[in-house]
């Protein structure tokens, strides 16, 4: 390894699909290396580095002196996440499912007090549509935001199930993005769930949210639809709008103008790229991180929606 490249040790906890994917990602890098891992009851991964110490307990990964980053590849308990923060490790979650908003808030506060970077690896944050919509929003081209819409009508893959419900497993990704466009709290929410032929497993939802600053948002996700449709983010403000990578505005004489939105070309793994930059003191890409504080807002919104849904 070149002497000018600083390498950070990563401890991996979990045997889910994210663990396999992460190890493949690390093989392509020189600045990050898996130094410790706990795959639970599963044997060591075949593509684990030879000098990666495999432990039988998650605590041993956290306590390993070579571990600087603890990457939870599957849902984790608040106690084990708190332990990693207490040990001063950088914490990366792949999911907040199973954690209440109260637990997340406590962990976010602990990380802030200790000055620990604690984030969620959310791949959808780096999608072209969201980055384009965010660029237009951040530039103030929309004026006061009024309406936000997103619709996904697709058919899930054969054998794909959502044991925690579509709202948590899929909706959480989109609510995370939605809350980037507003800093206020929901004033009124309404949720309708859709069920399959058995009537027990949900296959989609329709969420309507009114925010205190006057933004109206509608998010619909269907996993048993033949439409094969994704609208992407639809944003409409007092002076402009956004749809499908294009910005819309109106001239004084009433002509509607649309123009493409240009966003920087990203490398193949922007999350890990920006994580390494942050560890080296460069915070230029940290605004794209899903912090635990932001994850709290997402969790609160989902809990509000769940409480608003009529029982079946």
**145-159 confidence digits (pLDDT tens):** 999 999 999 999 998
pLDDT at site 219:
98
Give me the long-range contacts of 26-33 (CB less than 8 A, separation at least 24).
Answer: 28/268, 28/269, 29/269, 29/272, 30/1, 30/2, 30/5, 31/5, 31/6, 31/7, 31/276, 32/7, 32/8, 32/69, 32/272, 32/275, 32/276, 33/7, 33/8, 33/9
Mean pLDDT calculated for residue range 266-286: 88
Please give the residue that has the higher pLDDT: either 267 or 232.
232
DSSP H or E stretch at residue 137:
helix 128-138
- Judge contact between 253 and 185, C-beta under 8 A: no
Q: Using pLDDT thresholds of 50, 70 and 90, give the confidence band for residue 311.
A: low
pTM for the whole structure: 0.93
pLDDT at 284 over 90: no
């Amino acid at each position: 390894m070149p002497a000018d490249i600083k390498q950070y040790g990563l401890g991996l906890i979990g045997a889910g699909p994210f663990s396999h994917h992460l190890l493949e990602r690390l093989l392509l890098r020189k600045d990050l290396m898996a130094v410790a891992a706990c795959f639970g009851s599963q044997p060591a991964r075949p593509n684990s580095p030879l000098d990666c110490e495999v432990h039988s307990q998650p605590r041993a990964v956290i306590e390993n002196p070579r571990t600087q980053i603890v990457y939870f590849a599957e849902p984790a308990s608040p106690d084990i996440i708190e332990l990693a923060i207490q040990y001063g490790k950088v914490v990366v979650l792949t999911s907040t499912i199973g954690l209440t908003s109260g637990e997340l808030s406590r962990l976010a506060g602990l990380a802030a007090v200790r000055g620990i970077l604690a984030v969620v690896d959310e791949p959808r944050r780096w999608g072209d549509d969201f980055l384009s919509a965010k660029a237009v929003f951040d530039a103030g081209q929309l004026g006061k935001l009024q309406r936000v819409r997103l619709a996904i009508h697709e058919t899930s893959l054969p054998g794909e199930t959502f044991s925690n419900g579509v709202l948590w497993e899929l909706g959480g990704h989109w609510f995370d993005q939605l809350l980037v466009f507003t800093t206020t709290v929901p004033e009124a929410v309404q949720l309708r769930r859709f069920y399959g032929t058995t009537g027990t497993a949900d296959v989609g939802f329709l969420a309507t949210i009114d925010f205190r600053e006057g933004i109206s948002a509608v998010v619909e996700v269907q996993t048993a639809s033949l439409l094969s449709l994704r609208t992407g983010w639809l944003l409409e403000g007092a002076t402009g709008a956004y749809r499908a990578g294009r910005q819309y505005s109106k001239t004084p004489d009433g002509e509607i103008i649309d123009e493409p939105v240009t966003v920087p070309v990203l490398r193949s793994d922007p999350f890990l790229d920006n994580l390494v930059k942050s560890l080296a003191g460069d915070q230029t890409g940290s605004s794209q991180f899903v912090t635990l504080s932001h994850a709290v807002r997402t969790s609160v919104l989902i809990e509000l929606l769940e409480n608003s849904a009529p029982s079946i």
